[in-house]
Structure 1
Amino acid sequence: MKIVLLSALLLAGAACSPVRVESTTQAPGVNFSAYKTYNFMDVTARNEAAFAGGAVGIEELKQAVGREMERRGYQRAESPDLWVNIGVVTEQKVQTRESTIWEAPRYIGQRRYHWEAQQVSAGTYREGTATVDVVDAARNEQVWQGIAASALSKNPEKLAARIDEGIATMFKKYPVPPQ
């Protein structure tokens, strides 16, 4: 009984994660064990301002991806086998909730009142989406892509924790397991 309860609690905790992996894709027929080195493409994030306001930024994303690549046996090099490109996009979202029966009924005509559930705006928040593209340097072809999204916290520590969680969760679907 305790094992069932513990399993249910762990699953519930995982389901409540603020980070979600949108997708991962990999090119067919690629031998990922043939690659030994990686490095980051020298480009600016599409919206690095998403992480402004603290010490957390594109560097934290690079560090999280670097940790995951090195856990899989890749070494960082100047002329790598794999290029890693990180893209960041943010957008303002509206948080909604469903109206309750205690809210005012809707009037629809002569003495006809009824209650109708509606989506009501409860506030706004920023959501960030990080895309990690892994590219075969020799062929200049994408071999793997992961996309993760999360609400962006204004707290730098929470944001850094979400970045780490999102990249770690994304890389669970990478074809090379950690060593």
Structure 2
Amino acid sequence: MKPFLILLPALSVAACSPVRVESTTQAPDVDFASYKTYNFLDVTARNEDAFRGSSANVDELKRAVAREMELRGYRRADTPELWVNIGVVTEEKVQTRETNIQWDGPRYIGQRNYHWQSQQVPTGTYREGTATVDVVDAARNQQIW
């Protein structure tokens, strides 16, 4: 059984936008029942510059992961058996729409020497991101999920 696959719904609930799971990989021969405690890696253990502006996203993901871990019987501890590392990288994107001759074309053409071509017009901005959740065996310092 892969108990950590159940964390995926928590991640989708935690996010405000649609979630697409790219991959889930579990180390072979890992017995998750043998672990009882977990905690989250400190932000200073990661490249902090890559996570600027996304701390609210990380906090929301932490709450969702903690809820799912505790539902499965794991308890949070200062010296855990499992480390959970959550990372979020976001990028500013521009939302566009395609122009339409019916709505965006001129009302007066003049000498009928006119050429119109559709184009992309910016309408707003949004943030798109990637979240990663890694689970590490604290004693062996080895990623297991």
Map Cα deviations across residues 145-177 of structure 1 (whole Å, 9 max, x no partner): xxxxxxxxxxxxxxxxxxxxxxxxxxxxxxxxx
Kept in 2: contact 1:50–1:128 (CA 8 A): no
State which structure, 1 or 2, has the greater radius of gyration over its C-alpha atoms: 2
- Over aligned residue pairs, what C-alpha RMSD do you find? 2.8
Match of 1:19 in 2: 18
Kept in 1: contact 2:136–2:144 (CA 8 A): yes
Map Cα deviations across residues 12-48 of structure 1 (whole Å, 9 max, x no partner): xxxxx72313423223413323322211112245424
Match of 1:138 in 2: 139
Aligned residues: 119
Instruction: Name which of structure 1's ranges 27-36 and 70-79 shifts more when overlaid on structure 2.
Output: 27-36
Kept in 2: contact 1:39–1:78 (CA 8 A): yes
Match of 2:80 in 1: 80
1:38-117 superposed matches below 5 A: 38-44=38-44, 46-51=50-55, 56=56, 58-102=58-102, 103-104=104-105, 111=113, 113=115, 116-117=117-118
Moved over 4 A (4+): none
| Secondary structure at the counterpart of residue 62 of structure 1 | helix
Report deviation, 1:100. Answer: 1.8
Q: Which has the higher strand share?
A: 1
Tell me the TM-score normalised to structure 2 length. 0.65
Structure 2 residue ranges without an equivalent (≥5)? 1-15, 107-111
Kept in 2: contact 1:48–1:88 (CA 8 A): no
Report deviation, 1:94. Answer: 0.4
Q: Distance in 2 between matches of 1:33 and 1:57?
A: 29
| Secondary structure at the counterpart of residue 73 of structure 2 | coil
Kept in 1: contact 2:98–2:119 (CA 8 A): yes
Map Cα deviations across residues 71-93 of structure 1 (whole Å, 9 max, x no partner): 22211122222101111222211
